[in-house]
Amino acid sequence: MTGAPPTYAIRSRPNGRLTARIARSMLAGDGLEAFWSWYTERAARSTHRVTRIPLEELSGWSTDPETGDIGHHSGKFFSVTGIDVHIPGAPVPRWSQPIIVQPEVGILGILVKEFDGVLHCLMQAKFEPGNANGLQLSPTVQATKSNFSRVHRGKAVPYLEFFRDSARHGVLADVLQSEQGAWFYQKRNRNMIVEVDGDVPVGENFIWLTFGQLHRLLGVENLVNMDTRTVLSCLPFTSQDSHPLIVVPEDDFHQALVRSCSAVEGSLHSMPEILSWITGIRAQSEVVTRVTPLARVPRWHRSGGAIVHENGLFFRVIGVDVAGGSREVASWSQPMIEPSGNGIVAFVARRIDGVLHVLVHARVEPGYVNVMELAPTVQCTPGNLGALPGEARPRYLDVVLNAPPELVRYSVALSEEGGRFYNAVNTYAVVEADVDVEDGADYRWMTLHQLAELLKHSNYLNVQARSLVACLHSLSS
What digits encode the pLDDT tens for the residues 289-307? 999 999 999 999 999 999 9
Whether 142 maps to a domain, the answer reads: yes
pLDDT digits (tens, 9 = 90+) for 56-79: 999 999 999 999 999 999 998 999
Confidence (pLDDT) at 244: 46
Instruction: Work out the average pLDDT over 205-224.
Output: 97
pLDDT reading at 248 higher than 70: no
Instruction: Work out the average pLDDT over 125-138.
Output: 94
Confidence (pLDDT) at 241: 56
Least confident residue range of 128-132, 146-150, 274-278, 446-450: 146-150
Confidence (pLDDT) at 440: 65
Confidence (pLDDT) at 146: 65
Instruction: Work out the average pLDDT over 454-470.
Output: 97
pLDDT reading at 328 higher than 70: no
Confidence (pLDDT) at 166: 80
pLDDT reading at 109 higher than 90: yes
pLDDT band at 421 (very low <50, low <70, confident <90, very high): very high
State pTM to two decimals: 0.93
The span from the CA of 285 to the CA of 454, in Å, is 20
Whether 210 maps to a domain, the answer reads: yes
Whether 4 maps to a domain, the answer reads: no
Instruction: Work out the average pLDDT over 256-266.
Output: 93
Confidence (pLDDT) at 5: 54
Q: Which range marks the domain in which residue 369 is found?
A: 14-49+102-287+340-475
Please name the amino acid found at residue 427. T
Instruction: Work out the average pLDDT over 452-476.
Output: 96
Neighbours of 367 (CB within 10 A): 20
- Supply the CATH number for residue 465's domain: 3.90.79.40
Confidence (pLDDT) at 13: 44
What does the H/E/C string look like for the chain? CCCCCCCCCCCCCCCHHHHHHHHHHHHCCCCCHHHHHHHHHHHHHCCCEEEEECHHHCCCEEECCCCCCEEECCCCCCEEEEEEEECCCCCCCEEEEEEEECCCCEEEEEEEEEECCEEEEEEEEEECCCCCCCEEEECCEEECHHHHCCCCCCCCCCCHHHHHCHHHCEEEEEEEEECCCCCEECCEEEEEEEECCCCCCCCCCEEEEEHHHHHHHCCCCCCECHHHHHHHHCCCCCECCCCCCCCCCCCHHHHHHHHHCEHHHCCCCCHHHHHHHHHHHHHHCCCEEEEECHHHCCCEEEECCEEEECCCCCEEEEEEEEECCCCCCCEEEEEEEEECCCEEEEEEEEEECCEEEEEEEEEECCCCCCCEEEECCEEECHHHHHHCCHHHCCCCHHHHHCCCHHHEEEEEEEECCCCCECCCEEEEEEEECCCCCCCCCCEEEECHHHHHHHCCCCCCECHHHHHHHHHHHHCCC
Instruction: Work out the average pLDDT over 4-26.
Output: 67
**pLDDT, mean over the chain:** 91
pLDDT reading at 246 higher than 60: no
pLDDT reading at 243 higher than 50: no
Confidence (pLDDT) at 1: 44
Least confident residue range of 199-203, 216-220, 353-357, 435-439: 435-439
pLDDT digits (tens, 9 = 90+) for 429-444: 999 999 988 756 899 9
Whether 168 maps to a domain, the answer reads: yes
Whether 441 maps to a domain, the answer reads: yes
CA 411 to chain centre: 17
Whether 36 maps to a domain, the answer reads: yes
Whether 256 maps to a domain, the answer reads: yes
pLDDT band at 449 (very low <50, low <70, confident <90, very high): very high
Least confident residue range of 181-195, 321-335, 451-465: 321-335
Confidence (pLDDT) at 3: 53
User: What is the percentage of the chain residues whose pLDDT exceeds 70?
Assistant: 90
pLDDT digits (tens, 9 = 90+) for 86-98: 999 999 999 999 9
pLDDT reading at 152 higher than 80: no
User: Count of domains in the chain?
Assistant: 1
The span from the CA of 466 to the CA of 464, in Å, is 5
